A = this chain, B = another copy of it.
Amino acid sequence: MSQFEHVTVLKKANVYFDGGVTSRTVVFADGSKKTLGVMLPGQYQFTTDVVEIMEITAGDLLVLLPGETEWKPFTGGMQFEVPAGATFKVDVKTITDYVCSFISVS
């Protein structure tokens, strides 16, 4: 799937780490939300509110998932999942394009 159809896109960008990470919020008809983001090379730490599925569209990065001690490599076409209320780190080697899905359990 190369595009998301019948969605709402928020006009305002989400900007983190002085622009090292930026994203746009996309809302689907069912109310679910994804962000389409770009991470420039660098190390960043994130904390999740809900479960997040990070799908790497393009790029090259190392990820330290919660509770793990080993950084694992990810490239375009791969994805990883992070539990709610958890912290993970990324070490972005080349510009990384991603889709983050937020999974709210109600």
Footprint of B on A, CB under 8 Å?
1-13, 15, 18-19, 22, 24, 26-27, 36, 38, 40, 57-58, 95, 97, 99
Contacts and interface: CB of A to CB of B under 8 A. Distances in A.
A8 B4 contact: yes
Contacts of A99: 11
Contact of A36 (B3, B9, B95, B97): B9
9 contacts: A3-B10, A3-B11, A4-B8, A6-B8, A7-B8, A12-B57, A12-B58, A19-B95, A22-B38
Contacts of A11: 1-4, 36, 57, 99
B8 A24 contact: no
A9 B7 contact: yes
Question: Which 9 pairs across A and B sit closest by C-beta, in order of nearness?
Answer: A13-B97, A22-B38, A19-B40, A19-B95, A5-B8, A4-B9, A3-B10, A13-B38, A24-B24
